[in-house]
Amino acid sequence: MARILIVDDSITMIEAHKAILEGFGHTVYSAQSGEEGVEKAIEILPDLILMDIVMPNMNGFQATRKITKDERTKHIPVVILSTKDQETDIIWGKKQGAKGYLVKPVDKKELASTIDQLLEEANQ
C-alpha cells in the first residue's frame, strides 16, 4: 500500500488518523509542525501527505505551498485535513497546491476514497 505522511500538531489527531490509515494497510509517518512536515516530505518522499492547517510557526497552507513548489516534492499529492470548513479556506488551500480538502472529523470512507483517488491519479 501507500506511504502516507500526516502533518498535525495534535498527537491525538495523528494517532486517530494513523489507526485508520494503518487499518487500510498504509505505512504512516508523522510530523508535528509545518517545518518538520516539509523536512520529512523531502526525506521520506511519501506517496501522499495529510496536512493540518492550524499549527504554530509554519501553518499548513505555508507548508503545502513549500511542498508543492519544491522540485523534489511537487509530485506528492497533499490533502488538507482541517477543522476550518469555510469556502475561502478550501479555495485558498487548493491555491497553495493541495489536491484535496477534507474537514475534521473526517469520515473513514471519505478519507479512504480521497486517498485512493489521488494515489491512482498520481500513478497515471
What span, in angstroms and rounded, lies between the C-alpha atoms of 31 and 124?
28
Which CATH number characterizes residue 30's domain? 3.40.50.2300
Question: Per-residue pLDDT for 123 more than 90?
Answer: no
Q: Which of 110, 37, 36, 45 is nearest to 76 (CA)?
A: 45
Q: What's the predicted TM-score (pTM) here?
A: 0.96
Q: What pLDDT does 53 receive?
A: 96
Question: Which tens digits make up the pLDDT trace of 111-120?
Answer: 999 999 999 9
What span, in angstroms and rounded, lies between the C-alpha atoms of 73 and 63?
11
Q: Which of 62, 65, 28 is nearest to 44 (CA)?
A: 28
Domains identified in the chain, total number: 1
Report the DSSP pairing between strands 48-51 and 3-7.
Answer: parallel
**Residue 112 contacts by C-beta under 8 Å, 6 or more apart in sequence?**
20, 24
Range of the domain at 109: 3-122
